[in-house]
Amino acid sequence: MILEGLLTTCDADGELRVAPMGPSVDERISRLVLRPFPTSTSYQNLRRHPEGVFHVTDDALLLARAAIGRITEHPPTMRACSVRGFVLTGACRAYEFRVVAVDESEPRHRLECEVVHCHDLRHFFGFNRAKHAVVEAAIWATRVHLFPRTEILREFDKWDEIVRKTGGAAELKAMQELRQFVLEEPT
């Protein structure tokens, strides 16, 4: 099963890097399989230092901003307990992990990771159509170089309606920022 969330890694200077990630997980979330592109910053960070933290969050605005590289200031964090890294304190759960195997034979490299520490930080808000719509829109926004802009914007029109009907201020802001990104991003 793929679980969408946020990944934190450390860059060469030990600074926080936040990126969206959808690893394959088992139901206990004892192992993660990450499949980043080798050109991604997260992949480069994990190859340099094979530890990080995967976060389950219901913060759709932060997910959207991470997807389009528009986090203007770092969200609140604390130091991880068992790995060199950072835990996003606003997440619902966080899984500290170590990379135990790397397969570079496919275009998206495969990193098998063992979870070494779990944090239960706060209750999950619950299922909400607007939050899910923002996650889908964020994924499509990262594909602006692969699909015609008009196709992406048609999908956005569907998600905008869902967000208007079922979302709050954060989800409305997220859709606005994602749409602006798609309109401005060179293809």
CATH number of the domain that residue 99 is part of: 2.30.110.10
Q: How is residue 2 annotated by DSSP?
A: B
Spatial separation of the C-alpha atoms in residues 173 and 57, rounded to whole Å: 17
pLDDT of residue 182: 97
Same domain as 159, residue 106: no
Return all residues near 120 (Cβ < 8 A) that are at least 6 apart.
92, 93
Same domain as 134, residue 116: no
**Boundary of a domain, candidates 120, 146, 167:** 120
**Boundary of a domain, candidates 94, 120, 146:** 120
Same domain as 80, residue 161: no
pLDDT of residue 185: 86
Same domain as 86, residue 140: no
Domain of residue 16: give its range. Answer: 5-120
Into how many domains does the chain fold? 2
At residue 3, the 3 state secondary structure works out as: coil
pLDDT, tens digit, 9 for 90 and up, residues 29-57: 999 999 999 999 999 999 999 999 999 99
Q: Which two tokens stand for residue 41?
A: 């910053």
Residue 112: enclosing H or E segment and its boundaries?
strand 110-120
Same domain as 104, residue 52: yes
In this prediction, residues 143-156 reach a mean pLDDT of 95
User: What is the pTM (predicted TM-score) of this model?
Assistant: 0.94
Name the band, by pLDDT with cuts 50, 70 and 90, for residue 187. Answer: confident
In this prediction, residues 151-164 reach a mean pLDDT of 96
In this prediction, residues 79-97 reach a mean pLDDT of 98
pLDDT, tens digit, 9 for 90 and up, residues 170-183: 999 999 999 999 99
Are the C-beta atoms of 2 and 14 separated by less than 8 Å? no
Same domain as 58, residue 80: yes
